[in-house]
Amino acid sequence: MDINKLHPVSEFEWHIEPTGDMHVPGVIFAGKDLIAEMDDKVYEQVCNVARLPGIIDASYAMPDAHWGYGFPIGGVAAFDPDEGGIVSAGGVGFDISCGVRTLHTGLTPEQVLHQQQHLADVLYEHIPAGLGSTGIYRLNKKQMDQMLLGGAKWAVEQRLGDYKDLHHIEEQGCMQGARPEYISDHAKERQKHEMGTLGSGNHYLEVQKVVEIYDADIAAAFGIKLNDIKISIHCGSRGLGHQIGTEFLKQMVTRAADYGIRLPDRELACAPLDSDLGRRYLGAMRGAINCALANREIITHLTRQAMSKVFPAIELDLLYDVSHNTCKLEPHTIKGVTKNIFVHRKGATRAFGPGHPALPDTYKHCGQPVLIGGTMGTASYILAGASKSMQMAFGSACHGAGRSMSRRRATKLWQGKQVTQELADKGIVIRSPSMRGVAEEAPGAYKNVSKVVNAAEQAGLAKRVAKLKPMICIKG
Amino acid sequence: MITPYWEHFEHEADIGVRGYGNTPAQAFEQAALAMMAIIVDLSLIQNREVIELHCSDNDPDVLLTDWLNSLVYQIATRKMLFAQFDVRIKNGRLSARAWGEAIEIERHQPAVEIKGATFTELAVKQTDDHWLAQCVVDV
């Protein structure tokens, strides 16, 4: 991206002045080097989002922003229901509520090293991963609707999870306002066999070691110590979310003109919040959020079963569960006035600051845990929402490294076996149903996650707490 | 007349599919092959079963996403892979047959699952002596 088109506010905050039919400015949080690496399409997409009706404050891009569908991936935008605001299926994305959760294990690195290959095999055996895999739990029509209404809470009630987990999940594990009747039979059919499956692409389960602590007080509150072993799970709402995204995107594209909305890009397809289509999408999307929460809870259940086969006395407590692709109704104070607004986070994490009422008591004084997924070969980070972030991008931060090259280019540069061997040499054990999938996800195909996280901290979006390196990666 | 073919094109996070043919139907067949090739090496798929698909839309662009998304749905729900297509399009109505077989993870080594065909870089158009059908798919 040409940095000369941006107006610097600080070293890590750059503005695009509104021109033409942009209602608000664009704001990009990143250092010069990350901006230089960003595709020009990110600039175009940030500007296009600023053209949508009812947008509040600014169209934001996080440090890991890259070319997405309508919205940039790493885009944040909020809309006012009283000012003709909209909800956008493209602004949430296909993988609704894709997210990360991290579990404490109480293990030491030595315990893992001693059984690393065996542990990788047991986890790979227990967690269905990749295209064509199916979950152990099949849902009938009634169970499907209950799952869509109940989320992780439903999974716990089915004895596929632990009650204690719910306090450490956004929305306490159950998104209110889900309307299963607005979700098509096709979407439900696609999900019937997919509960408790990891999916593919950039989705994973990792056993990780804490290698660095940046903030000892917050780390202690989060239950993180140097050399701790954690497990992180990255996946979303599976086929159900994808189908809802597909169907509502089409409906919003074809109905936009009826609502008097001129779309700068068809992928920005949206509907007024105060419309039948807007309400139906919100109800369906909230069901998909519950599906993602239930899915991660069930995968956690399977992980507990797997881990207990290798370490019989083990207990896995949930540190936190964050979602990346959502639109949520939240109260925010803008220019001294508190309003309920609809915040879209597309490839961005909620990062509420200290004292926020949505946080569990254990974390209230230090801010929300923000779980940033890295690549198989680099590192993941745990951050905490900063007080300042509430005034910056509606309490949001980055979500991951973000790709720096296409899958196609990655397969030309690397082969799966070679990537697996190179990672093995670094002490990282990979299990995956597809070697080509591993090549496409090669660590070199991603941006430098450390730079992304540094930029988020320097911009004031979130505070670095700990760095984790992978020891085992189950790749979908 | 051209020999129908397909190719992929670059998208930072995902991948674009592009089909070329002498008719929109041929271009749609090739775009579907391009999409299947994202998942799997096409030469590994045998024609053991055939299924029928139907969709309709007066906007050819939207019809392309509908066609690819109906295939995505079949892959996800039937757990099948396809490597041959016969597409007919008349007055915005598409009917197709798709040949393939059930997914065998060990043998097919599917790389990714497709979440959906998107409206990004979406186009169905006639250029010189052939038709082109393309869009980016989310993986």
Each residue of A210-230: pLDDT tens digit? Answer: 999 999 999 999 999 999 999
Which ranges of A212-275 does DSSP label H, i.e. alpha helix? 216-222, 238-255
In this complex, do B110 and A190 lie within 8 Å of one another by their Cβ atoms? no
B108 in contact with A at a CB cutoff of 8 Å?
Answer: yes
Contacts of B112 in chain A (CB under 8 A): 131, 200-201, 407, 434, 437, 440
**How much is the mean pLDDT over chain A?**
95
The proportion of chain A whose per-residue pLDDT surpasses 70, expressed as a percent, equals 100
Please compute, for residue A256, the number of CA atoms within 13 A of its CA located in the half-sphere on the CB side: 23
The answer to whether A334 and A56 are in contact (CB under 8 A) is: yes
In this complex, do A69 and B138 lie within 8 Å of one another by their Cβ atoms? yes
Contacts of B123 in chain A (CB under 8 A): none
In order, the DSSP letters of A273-330 are TTSHHHHHHHHHHHHHHHHHHHHHHHHHHHHHHHHHHHSTT----EEEEEESSEEEEE
Which of B11, B106, B136 best tests the A interface by mutation, with the highest count of A CBs <10 A?
A: B11
The answer to whether B19 and B32 are in contact (CB under 8 A) is: yes
Q: What chain A residue is nearest to B63 in terms of C-alpha separation?
A: A250
A444-468 average pLDDT score: 94
- Rounded Cα distance between B45 and B42, Å, is 6
Token pair belonging to A101:
């959760």
- pLDDT of A468 over the 90 cut: yes
- Rounded Cα distance between A177 and A98, Å, is 19
pLDDT at position A418 is 94
In this complex, do A249 and B12 lie within 8 Å of one another by their Cβ atoms? no
A204 min Cα distance to partner chain B (Å): 13
pLDDT at position A68 is 85
A412 in contact with B at a CB cutoff of 8 Å?
Answer: no
Specify the CATH number for A3-404+446-475; select among 3.30.565.10, 3.40.50.720, 3.30.360.10, 3.90.1860.10: 3.90.1860.10
Q: Which residue, chain included where needed, has tokens 């690397």?
A: A414
Bridge-based pairing of strands A429-431 and A99-104 is: unpaired
User: Which has the higher per-residue pLDDT, A405 or B86?
Assistant: B86
Report yes or no for ipTM above 0.90: yes
pLDDT at position B125 is 97
The answer to whether A404 and A167 are in contact (CB under 8 A) is: no
Q: What is the largest CA-CA distance in chain B?
A: 43
Contacts of B8 in chain A (CB under 8 A): 408
A309-325 average pLDDT score: 97
Enumerate the domain spans of chain A: 3-404+446-475
* Residues 421-450 of chain A whose Cβ lies under 8 A from any Cβ of chain B: 433-437, 440
A466-472 average pLDDT score: 98
Of A63-77, A174-188, B89-103, the range with the lowest mean pLDDT is A63-77
**Count of domains in chain B?**
1
- Rounded Cα distance between A146 and A472, Å, is 34
CB-closest option in A68, A199, A254 to B13: A68
Contacts of B10 in chain A (CB under 8 A): 406, 408-409
Contacts of B69 in chain A (CB under 8 A): 246
A464 in contact with B at a CB cutoff of 8 Å?
Answer: no
Q: Is A206 helix (H, G, I), strand (E, B) or coil?
A: strand
Which of B8, B12, B41, B80 best tests the A interface by mutation, with the highest count of A CBs <10 A?
A: B12
Q: What chain B residue is nearest to A268 in terms of C-alpha separation?
A: B119
pLDDT at position B103 is 94
- Rounded Cα distance between A122 and A400, Å, is 27
Contacts of A254 in chain B (CB under 8 A): 59, 62
In chain A the first and final C-alpha atoms are separated, in Å, by 32
A324-333 average pLDDT score: 96
* Nearby residues of B85 by Cβ (< 8 Å), 6 or more positions away: B28, B29, B32, B33, B96, B97, B98, B99
- pLDDT of A201 over the 90 cut: no
pLDDT digits (tens, 9 = 90+) for A291-306: 999 999 999 999 999 9
Residue ranges for chain B with pLDDT beneath 70: 12-13
- pLDDT of A102 over the 90 cut: yes
The answer to whether A18 and A46 are in contact (CB under 8 A) is: no
pLDDT at position A335 is 86
pLDDT at position B15 is 87
Q: Is A44 helix (H, G, I), strand (E, B) or coil?
A: helix
B51 in contact with A at a CB cutoff of 8 Å?
Answer: no
In this complex, do A250 and B105 lie within 8 Å of one another by their Cβ atoms? no
- pLDDT of A267 over the 90 cut: no
A69 in contact with B at a CB cutoff of 8 Å?
Answer: yes
Q: What confidence tier does A67 reach under pLDDT thresholds 50, 70, 90?
A: confident
Q: Is A209 helix (H, G, I), strand (E, B) or coil?
A: strand
A407 in contact with B at a CB cutoff of 8 Å?
Answer: yes
pLDDT digits (tens, 9 = 90+) for A134-179: 888 889 999 999 999 999 999 999 999 999 999 999 999 999 999 9
Beta bridge partners, A20, equal none
pLDDT at position A403 is 79
pLDDT at position A163 is 97
The answer to whether A6 and A28 are in contact (CB under 8 A) is: yes
In this complex, do A440 and B10 lie within 8 Å of one another by their Cβ atoms? no
The answer to whether A34 and A46 are in contact (CB under 8 A) is: no
According to DSSP, residue A354 is labeled T
pLDDT at position B68 is 98
Residue B24 domain boundaries? 5-138
pLDDT at position A131 is 80
A133 in contact with B at a CB cutoff of 8 Å?
Answer: yes
Q: Which residue, chain included where needed, has tokens 């450390």?
A: A450
The answer to whether A112 and A385 are in contact (CB under 8 A) is: no
In this complex, do A200 and B103 lie within 8 Å of one another by their Cβ atoms? no
What is the CATH classification number for the domain harbouring B31?
3.55.10.10
- Rounded Cα distance between B130 and B1, Å, is 7
Residues of A labelled as active-site residues? 399
